[in-house]
Amino acid sequence: MKTRIYAPELGELALLIDYPDLFKSDDAFVIERNYTIDESVMGGTYKEMFFEGIHNGYGDFRLPKTTLIHFDTDLQTIEMHFALQGNAKVHSRNFTGQLGFSNNQHNLLYACEFKGSVEWSNEKDMKVFEVNLWPSFFEKHLPESGLFDTFRNSIEKKQSAILSPHNFPITPQMVTLIHQIINCNRTGRFKRIFLESHVLELLMLQLEQIDNHNCEVFCAISKQQEEKIFAVKEILTQHLSGDFTLNSLAQSVGTNEFTLKKGFKELFGISVFGYWNQLKMQEARKLIMDRELSIKEVSNRIGYKNPQHFSTAFKRYYGYSPSELRSL
């Protein structure tokens, strides 16, 4: 079982992913491999981890110009696709019409001996996270309803398909899980348990979001409004110690408070400042665990002038204080 990724301009193979029999074995351990691509048309890294029924892959690619990448695979797989950064248009005879992903979008695909090409825009570096599931593993977790039944029928007929006709926004919860999967430092059997549990939670969040929302919710937000809301999300992500109000954020991207508040909640399932607090607490926990800064310095780093206020907020979020975490 192999997946080939190549660019016509290279005249040669850019990346070959070979899945040994361990991908479907009962082995307790996780197989890990890292690839480096250093070509004029594309550079970057690809990291993969896989074991029975599950394959995780994270790609971080640099593109000097808009690039057409060809790919083909002899796998039969369910792909949980997360476009973390960048824009891509997929062309394949396996699907009718054009499949595309923009920043911060996800969907579920079924691919059976998939072959096609993807046009990657060079507006930003491409960052993609994907989970490939064995169909038998995936189907036992698939809910029973109209949209899911249609997808299940495609799998049974071995016809490549996409679960939803429109993509969904990647939520902060999903981002957290993806980062935990990519950066997991456990080993052996414990790593496998950790990865499998996080993949199942990520799949649950995907299926739950798709089941709870229909196209009308997302179609009600115009493309222009969506871009402004994503711009606010980027501002919050890059400025954890900033001093913002809902009005100042709305004005900075050319919208109003009502549109920002309503649209942000619809896209990400969380309020503007709920999301910002989540980012702050996650960064604070990472800095505390790194042990390079004092708790007071961590507090300042994420925008709290009063360390006691920070400790209170941290304990409210995690259930334990910064000092308790530091003492572990």
pLDDT (average), residues 141-166: 85
Task: Assess whether 230 and 146 both reside in one domain.
Answer: no
Task: Assess whether 211 and 233 both reside in one domain.
Answer: no
251 band by pLDDT with thresholds 50, 70 and 90? very high
Instruction: Outline where the chain has alpha helix (H).
Output: 135-139, 146-156, 172-182, 188-212, 215-219, 223-238, 246-253, 257-268, 272-290, 295-301, 307-318, 322-326
The better pLDDT of the pair 270, 293 is held by 293
Instruction: Choose the final residue of a domain: 195, 216, 237.
Output: 216
Nearest by Cα to 71 from 56, 92, 50, 55: 92
Task: Assess whether 171 and 228 both reside in one domain.
Answer: no
Task: Assess whether 184 and 231 both reside in one domain.
Answer: no
Task: Assess whether 80 and 158 both reside in one domain.
Answer: yes
DSSP per residue over 290-314, as a string? HTSS-HHHHHHHTT-SSHHHHHHHH
Task: Assess whether 136 and 227 both reside in one domain.
Answer: no
pLDDT (average), residues 160-185: 87
Task: Assess whether 237 and 311 both reside in one domain.
Answer: yes
**Cα 199 from Cα 184, distance rounded (Å):** 12
Note the pLDDT tens digit of each residue in 66-117.
777 777 777 788 999 999 888 888 777 766 656 788 878 899 998 887 777 7
pLDDT at 249 over 90: yes
Position 123 scores a pLDDT of 63
Instruction: Choose the final residue of a domain: 162, 192, 216.
Output: 216
pLDDT at 326 over 60: yes
Domains identified in the chain, total number: 2
Task: Assess whether 13 and 125 both reside in one domain.
Answer: yes
C-beta of residue 167 within 8 angstroms of C-beta of residue 101: yes
- Alpha-carbon distances, residue 219 vs 105, 226, 228 (angstroms): 14, 10, 15
Task: Assess whether 64 and 127 both reside in one domain.
Answer: yes
Task: Assess whether 96 and 208 both reside in one domain.
Answer: yes
For residue 238, what is the domain's CATH number? 1.10.10.60
Structural domain of residue 227, as residue ranges? 222-326
Position 22 scores a pLDDT of 42
Helices 272-290, 307-318: crossing angle, 10 deg rounding? 100
Supply the mean pLDDT for the chain. Answer: 82
Task: Assess whether 20 and 44 both reside in one domain.
Answer: yes
C-beta of residue 47 within 8 angstroms of C-beta of residue 18: no
Instruction: Choose the final residue of a domain: 194, 216, 238.
Output: 216
